[in-house]
Amino acid sequence: MKIAKQKSDFATPFTLKNALSKGNIFTRLSAIIMGLGNMASGQLIKGVIYLAIEISYIGFMLTQGLYYLKMFPSLGYRKEGEVWNASKGVYEYVEGDNSVLLLLYGVVTIAMTVLFIYFLCDNIKSAYKAQYFKEQGWKIKSFKDDIKDLFDCNLHKFLMFLPFTGILIFTILPLLFMISMAFTNYSDIGNHLVLFDWVGLKNFVLVLGLGGKIGKTFWPVLGWTLIWAVCATFSNFFLGMILAIVINRKETHCKALWRLCFVISIAVPQFVTLLIMRTLLQENGAINTMLINAGLIKKALPFWTNATWARVTIILVNCWIGIPFTMLQVTGVLQNVPAELYEAAKIDGANPVQIYFKITLPYIMFIMGPYIITQFTGNINNFNVIYLLSGGAPQPIGQTAGKTDLLVTWLYKLTIDYKYYNIGAVIGILTFIVLSIVALVTYRNTASYKDEEGFQ
Amino acid sequence: MTQNVKMEKTKRTRSFSSARKVKNIIIHVILAVLSLIWLFPIFWVIMTSFRKESGVNVNYFFPKHLTLHNYTRLFTDTQVINFPRMFLNTLEISIFSCMIATLFVLCTSYCMSRLRFKMRKPFMNLAMILGLFPAFMSMVAVYFILKLAGLTQGGLIKLALVLIYSAGAGAGFYIAKGFFDTVPKSLTEAAILDGCSQFQVFYKIICPLSKPIIVYTILTAFLGPWLDFIFVKVIVGANDQYWTVSVGLYNMLEREFIQKWYTSWAAGAVLVSIPITLLFIFMQKFYVDGLSGAVKG
């Protein structure tokens, strides 16, 4: 029902099906010679542009693309080295295949082909549109009109072109590349860093199975990631909210001063504060030395060397970082709670606790709902806090992940330190799956997604 | 009789108010303690940056001797760690990436908010899905792509970093879109009736009304390169000519530098924090305005 309505918003008679069944010979021929239909109907420049796209695509495919497509299934097999050249009587250096490059070029070629098919369809539709306009005796849009449209009814095409190209090249393409890596044996294991092959779902079995070393690491890391995300999100939210409410009370003096004290910590760059915390809390760091000198403890507290200590410390330090953010946000919300609500509640004889649970909390939750979800997903991917504070330590010898490593930091270690690119890619995909489950269930139920025009 | 009741009442309010006073005092004490906890690490760096005695671990808060040497050293001792160059690198990268990123974010968020076209919902879903992939997952792939384009050598590294920070910015349109959503539709409709094209609506009506969110976008985009260090670390690697401030500071704490450079590290951290703190204080106003909508009720 809803989908049908959406479709009708943008319904147009100029579809591919109509074009191919009702179009004239030029329109149909556009499927082979792009731009022909437009040229036949008098849109010369547009036709030439389509033709140029086709020629450059075919040129690319003939010179390079076909080779890359041919190599894509095998990802290369020639080893680099010296080969005996009998006719010259010398050893010749032969540059072998580089699987990474072949994989990347293959992905690029496929992406370009998809793009080309899009232009092809667009071209046929446009040819049919021009033909239809000509038959009806309507004015056919000149190139100048098309340019003008770019600033008016087609403004989105003009404004979105560059940003979308950027996203395509720097976000989508790398992502596709990495996802395809998950299905290869591109890894330092077995020395597959230059030449590698497709291995199907083997890596997923390796990670998800409990048999191997990787599998035995994966489940504990996933568990800690989820525990961390829940603890970090809710400790920040509730403590931050309580702090905001306490400062916002009528009886609290110097509200601005208190807020300033906490807000200063936001302004200092996070990597600076995290590095300070790390050095302060080291085994022979300032906190330990001060506590020992004061006679409060005898031995240094194992902030980063004991797994449980490290985990608790990280969550506490994260509170130090996160609470001011929540406080700032909640303060903004609190100041917007309609005063009538409180007055009405007071007249009805509600006590402060009731007022809090019946008015303040629901109001905050209503506004901050999406914020909590973003915080949660952000925490699952919270690289900085873990990497800068503990670096995953304590790390048992012979293991790839430490006791405080999240999936993201483990992913980083696997790819950058160990060069297990394929396993890293699998972890990335699994992280994505975990996150999308959280997001799909919650985002789509938030008011701002359902009712984005509520304010207009 | 009535007198008795009155006395009872004042007694009760008095005990009530004294309980309240105690409660208030307790709350203020707790706030003070918390503030101390929050301020302690920050003052610790500031104190360390003025400390004359070198070394990492000292067991006292106030330095025994104060000095400005840690600051001057950052700008004079540039043999191993060239702080001024890192600073300029970061400045260049952040200025250019900020310009591109702001343009991209404003363009996409305007399209998402105000224009209705077939690919709008799919694009919004796509942006949401892309946001769920860990950023580091594609980092290696980005590196390979940049290498293919020949952008990982020499001065082009800076261009590569600018592109990394700005090219994908279009996907982060949510906050600005939320702002544009609050500009009343009647304004744009009136303008279109008066003969404005959609583009004119964008830059003649929406942009002037959206100063808070534009400033907010500019500042967040500008801050990106100052705060991120992981991309620089991977892309630039050991090529310290192109380090940014954050990588430089991170590396000062590596084992070979930490003993000699710790106090200067603190000085560098303070120097970086000052402009960011100022920007933040400046931004906070726009942040609140930006999130609360364009037209005040």
Answer yes or no: do B269 and B160 share one domain: yes
Beta bridge pairs of residue A83: A92
| Tens-place pLDDT, residues A278-310 | 888 888 888 888 888 888 888 888 888 888 999
Q: For position B13, what pLDDT does the model report?
A: 58
Token couple for A23: 């179009």
A448 touches chain B (CB under 8 A): yes
With cut-offs at 50, 70 and 90, classify the pLDDT of residue B5: low
A111 touches chain B (CB under 8 A): no
CB B139: neighbour CB atoms within 10 A?
22
Give how far Cα A398 sits from Cα of A207, A215, A395, A401, Å: 17, 14, 9, 9
Interface mutation target, options B108, B109, B113, B132, chain A, most CBs of A under 10 Å: B132
Interface mutation target, options A279, A303, A321, A443, chain B, most CBs of B under 10 Å: A279
Q: For position A151, what pLDDT does the model report?
A: 84
**Cβ–Cβ under 8 Å, residues A420 and B149:** no
Q: How far apart are CA B209 and CA B220, in angstroms?
A: 19
In a domain, A430, yes or no: yes
Q: For position B9, what pLDDT does the model report?
A: 55
Answer yes or no: do A350 and A437 share one domain: yes
Answer yes or no: do B36 and B88 share one domain: no
In a domain, B66, yes or no: yes
Q: How far apart are CA A248 and CA A246, in angstroms?
A: 5
Nearest Cβ partner for B269 among A174, A262, A272: A272
Q: How far apart are CA A139 and CA A142, in angstroms?
A: 9
Based on the structure, what is the number of domains in chain A?
2
For CA atoms A398, A404, A406, A409, give the dihedral sign: negative
Interface mutation target, options B48, B115, B133, chain A, most CBs of A under 10 Å: B133
Answer yes or no: do B64 and B114 share one domain: no
**Cβ–Cβ under 8 Å, residues B270 and B293:** no
Final residue of a structural domain among A162, A181, A200: A181
- A134: which residues sit within 8 A by CB, 6+ positions away? A41, A42, A140
Give how far Cα A53 sits from Cα of A34, A117, A144, Å: 8, 11, 20
A324 touches chain B (CB under 8 A): yes
In the DSSP assignment, the letter for residue A216 is H
Category of A76 on φ-ψ map: left (φ > 0), alpha (ψ -120 to 50) or beta: left
In a domain, A190, yes or no: no
Answer yes or no: do B113 and B136 share one domain: yes
User: Using CB atoms and an 8 Å cut-off, which of residues 201-240 of chain A contact chain B?
Assistant: none
- Report DSSP letters for B232-256, one per residue: HHHHHTT-GGG--HHHHHHHHTSHH
The complex's ipTM? 0.81
Answer yes or no: do A137 and A268 share one domain: no
Answer yes or no: do B108 and B158 share one domain: yes
Final residue of a structural domain among B70, B96, B127: B70
Average pLDDT, chain A: 85
Answer yes or no: do A257 and A304 share one domain: yes
In a domain, A455, yes or no: no
In a domain, A27, yes or no: yes
Token couple for A450: 């359902």
With cut-offs at 50, 70 and 90, classify the pLDDT of residue A237: very high
In this prediction, residues A175-182 reach a mean pLDDT of 90
In a domain, A203, yes or no: no
In a domain, A456, yes or no: no
Q: For position A310, what pLDDT does the model report?
A: 92
In the DSSP assignment, the letter for residue B210 is T
Answer yes or no: do A164 and A20 share one domain: yes
Q: For position B249, what pLDDT does the model report?
A: 87
In the DSSP assignment, the letter for residue A382 is -
In a domain, B297, yes or no: no
Q: How far apart are CA B235 and CA B56, in angstroms?
A: 29
Residue B52 in 3-state DSSP? coil
Answer yes or no: do A366 and A223 share one domain: yes
- B139: which residues sit within 8 A by CB, 6+ positions away? A174, A415, B230, B231, B234
Supply φ then ψ for residue A90, to 5 degrees: -135, 160
B259 touches chain A (CB under 8 A): no
| Tens-place pLDDT, residues A192-230 | 888 888 998 989 998 888 777 888 889 999 999 999 999
Q: Do B134 and A408 touch (CB under 8 A)?
A: yes
Category of A43 on φ-ψ map: left (φ > 0), alpha (ψ -120 to 50) or beta: beta
CATH number of domain containing A302: 1.10.3720.10
Answer yes or no: do A158 and A303 share one domain: no
Answer yes or no: do B78 and B45 share one domain: no
In a domain, A1, yes or no: no
Total H helices, total E strands in chain B: 14, 0
Q: Which amino acid is at A287?
A: I
Token couple for A218: 């994966």
Residue range of the domain that includes A298: 209-450
Answer yes or no: do B115 and B63 share one domain: no
Tell me which residue has tokens 């109509």.
A18
Based on the structure, what is the number of domains in chain B?
2
- The percent of residues in chain A predicted with pLDDT above 90, rounded, is 22
| Residue from B135, B98, B139, B125 nearest B234 by CA | B139
Category of B49 on φ-ψ map: left (φ > 0), alpha (ψ -120 to 50) or beta: alpha
Rg of the Cα trace of chain B? 27
For CA atoms B65, B70, B71, B72, give the dihedral sign: positive
**Cβ–Cβ under 8 Å, residues B249 and B265:** yes
Q: Do B138 and A166 touch (CB under 8 A)?
A: no
User: Using CB atoms and an 8 Å cut-off, which of residues 79-98 of chain A contact chain B?
Assistant: none
In a domain, A7, yes or no: no
CB A58: neighbour CB atoms within 10 A?
12
CATH number of domain containing B285: 1.10.3720.10
Supply φ then ψ for residue B250, to 5 degrees: -60, -40
| Residue from A240, A224, A273 nearest A372 by CA | A240
Total H helices, total E strands in chain A: 23, 2
Answer yes or no: do A22 and A161 share one domain: yes
In this prediction, residues B233-249 reach a mean pLDDT of 85
Answer yes or no: do B64 and B79 share one domain: no
Q: Do A160 and B166 touch (CB under 8 A)?
A: no
Give how far Cα A254 sits from Cα of A249, A251, A259, A281, B48, Å: 11, 10, 9, 32, 29
Answer yes or no: do A223 and A352 share one domain: yes
Answer yes or no: do B18 and B31 share one domain: yes
B295 touches chain A (CB under 8 A): no
Nearest Cβ partner for A332 among B39, B169, B288: B288
Helix (H) or strand (E) holding B21: helix B2-49
Answer yes or no: do B7 and B114 share one domain: no
Answer yes or no: do A231 and A357 share one domain: yes
CA distance A186 to chain B (A): 13
CB B62: neighbour CB atoms within 10 A?
9
With cut-offs at 50, 70 and 90, classify the pLDDT of residue A365: confident
Answer yes or no: do A149 and A29 share one domain: yes
Residue range of the domain that includes B185: 74-292
Residue A302 in 3-state DSSP? coil
With cut-offs at 50, 70 and 90, classify the pLDDT of residue A317: very high
With cut-offs at 50, 70 and 90, classify the pLDDT of residue B7: low
Q: How far apart are CA A124 and CA A33, in angstroms?
A: 10
Answer yes or no: do B158 and B273 share one domain: yes
Answer yes or no: do B89 and B40 share one domain: no
The lowest-confidence range among A42-51, A342-351, B7-16, B270-279 is: B7-16
Distance of CA A430 to the CA centre of its chain: 13
- B220: which residues sit within 8 A by CB, 6+ positions away? B283
**Cβ–Cβ under 8 Å, residues B209 and A253:** no
Category of B54 on φ-ψ map: left (φ > 0), alpha (ψ -120 to 50) or beta: beta
Answer yes or no: do A269 and A362 share one domain: yes
Helices (H), A335-420: 339-347, 352-355, 361-380, 383-389, 407-412
| Tens-place pLDDT, residues A120-161 | 998 888 888 888 888 888 887 888 888 888 888 888 888 889
Final residue of a structural domain among B36, B54, B70: B70
Answer yes or no: do A111 and A230 share one domain: no
Find the helix packing angle between B245-252 and B83-114, rounded to 10°: 130
